[in-house]
Structure 1
Amino acid sequence: MANILDSVDLRTQLVGENRLELLIFKLHTSQLFAINVFKVKEVVKLPKLNSLPGSHPNITGVANIRGLSIPVINLRQAISMRHGEEEGECNLIITEYNRSVQGFLVGEVMNIENLTWRDIQPPPSQVGRNNYLTALTKLNRDGAERLVSIIDVEKVLSEIIEYNVHISDDVLDQNIVDHLHGRKILIVDDSSTARAQIRDTLSQLGLEIIEATNGLMALNMLKKWCDEGKNINDEILMMFTDAEMPEMDGYKLTHEIRNDPRMNDIHIALNTSLSGSFNEAMVKKVGCDRFISKFQPDLLVEVVQDRLRDIL
C-alpha cells in the first residue's frame, strides 16, 4: 500500500504543470501514433490469440494474460487505416478505459515521451468528424520533425461497444427533475464521442448543453463571462470536464478556476476514462467536487440532481 501511495503522491505533484506522457508506436507504417501512458497497463509481445466467434470485425481474438481473458482490437483496422505492411513486429498494448480492460494490436512500440499539453494541438477542422484523432503533436526524430497522431480511443471503443444513454426510471427524482429544465451544463472534452454521450443523456432532462473541446477554450469562455460582469453560477449549473485535453488538461483547468475568486465556486465534476486511486487523489488535490468514470448515464444524472439539491 505504501508503494501505491508514494506513486500517487509523485504524480499529484505535477498538478498545475499541465503535463502528460505519451506512448509512441507504429501501425506497420512509418507514421507515428500515441495514447496516454496513464491508460496503459502494460505492453507485451503479441501472444497466441483465441478466436471469438460472433465478435465485432475489429476484434482479432482474445488473449490470455495471467489468467485474464482480454479482447484484442486490431487498431489499424479500427481506425480505417488501409495501407501498411501485414508482416513485422506485433505488440499488444493493454489498456484500461471506462472500467474495462482491452488490448490493442499494434506494430513497433517505440518509447514514452514526456510533453506538456501546450505541445498538443487539436486536429485541423479540415479532417472532418469521421477521423479517429483527438489531437496531434510533433517530435524531433533523427534531426527531422515528425507528426504524431493521438488516437481517440473512446471513439474506437464506441464503435465496438455501444455506449448507453438510457436513464433508469428509479434514478429520477421528480421533485428535482422539474427544476432542471432550461438550466445549462458546461461539458469540456476533446472527444466528440464523450461529449455526445453526456449531451444525449442530459438533454433528456431538458438541460441545455454548452460544449468546449479543451480546457483553454473553457477557461477563456468562463473568463469572458466574468469580464462581462456575469455571475458564473447564473450561467451554468455545473461543469463536467475530462482529464486529458489539448492545450490545457482538466486538472490545470480546475486549478485555474479555483484560483480565480470570480468563479472559484463553480461545481466541477471530473468525468474521465482514467480511473483508480491516482485520479481520486488528483480530484482532492486540484479541488474538483466529484470524480466519475465516463459512460455511466445514471451516475451523470445523479451528480446533476445532487448539485441542484444543494442550491434549491
Structure 2
Amino acid sequence: MAVPILDTVTPAAGPTSGGDLVRLIGQGLAAQVAVRFGAVPGQVLSVRQEAGLWIADVRTPAHPEALVPVTLENLDGARVPVPGEAVTVADAYRFERTAIVAEATVTRLVRTLLRMLKSQVVQNTSMTVALDYDATPEDQLRVVTMATLPSLVLSGPTVRASRFYASNVPHEDVVTGVSGPELQRRRPAYTVDLAFTLTAASDRTAELLNLMATVASFLNRNRWLELQRDPARPELGAVRWEMDPDGDFRTNLRGRDEIRVFTCGLVVRGFDIDEGLPMDLGKAVADAPELDATPIGGAP
C-alpha cells in the first residue's frame, strides 16, 4: 500500500466560479486519482510522472467563498478509491470572490481618459453614467447639472463586442514547470470595445464651435490610450488600446436657457475585461512549435 504525499498545491487561491487550473505535486500518486476541494470534486485533467515527482493538473469546481482542504485519492483500474491511499492537505486552497474594492483596469482607463480631456480640451470636464437617456443632444444635456460653462461631460462606457480584436483562439503563455519552461494554454480573453459619449455645453455659439474643433483635434491626435499594466510593478511595462471617434458630431444651438450643446462619441477598442482562465499545461517549450508572436487584442 502506497500512501500518496502532496508537497505543493499551486496556485493556493482562485475564483468562487471555479475553472481555475491547480497543479498538485507529490509522491506516490497512482495513474488515476480523484481530487476534492473541501467536499466538492475537481476535474482531473492529467496525471504524470516527471523528474521523479508525480504531477496532477486539476480544474477547480464552483464553490462558496471559503478556505478548504484538498484531498487526493488513488484510484484502481476501475476508478474505485484504493483503501488507505489518500492524503488531505488542510487549508490548502482558498475560493475567493472577485475583489471590488481594488481599482480595476477599466477604472484606471476612465481616470486616464478624464485626465487627458482635462489637460488637452477643457479643465471643466466631469464624469457621469447615463442609463435612461437617448443619445440626443437634448437628453445628454440633462445627464448632469453644469455649474460653469464651457463644460464637457464624459458618459459611459457602453460595452460592445469587439469585432476586430476578439479571438476564439486560446492564448499560450510560457510558465515555469517541474522540468523547465512549459506552455500554458488559456481560454480566449473576453475582449470588448468601450464606447463613450462626450457632451459639451456653452452659452456662446462661437465658444461651442471652438470647443467642437478642440474635441475633434483631441480625437484625431490621440489614437492610443496607454496605461501601465500594473502600477505596483512598473517592470511589466505598459499596454495601450486604440482610440477612435465614434459617429458624428451632433449640435443643438437652441437649447434650454440659451445653452448650446453638442455630442460626439469615442471608442476604446480591444479591451480585455477577462484574460481567460488557464485550460491546461502543455508540452515543454523545447518540444513545442514556435509561437506566433503577433498580439491578440489591444496593441502591446
- Taking structure 2 as the reference length, what is the TM-score of the superposition? 0.22
Higher-strand-fraction structure? 2
Higher-helix-fraction structure? 1
Larger RCO (CA within 8 A; separation ≥ 6)? 1
- Taking structure 1 as the reference length, what is the TM-score of the superposition? 0.22
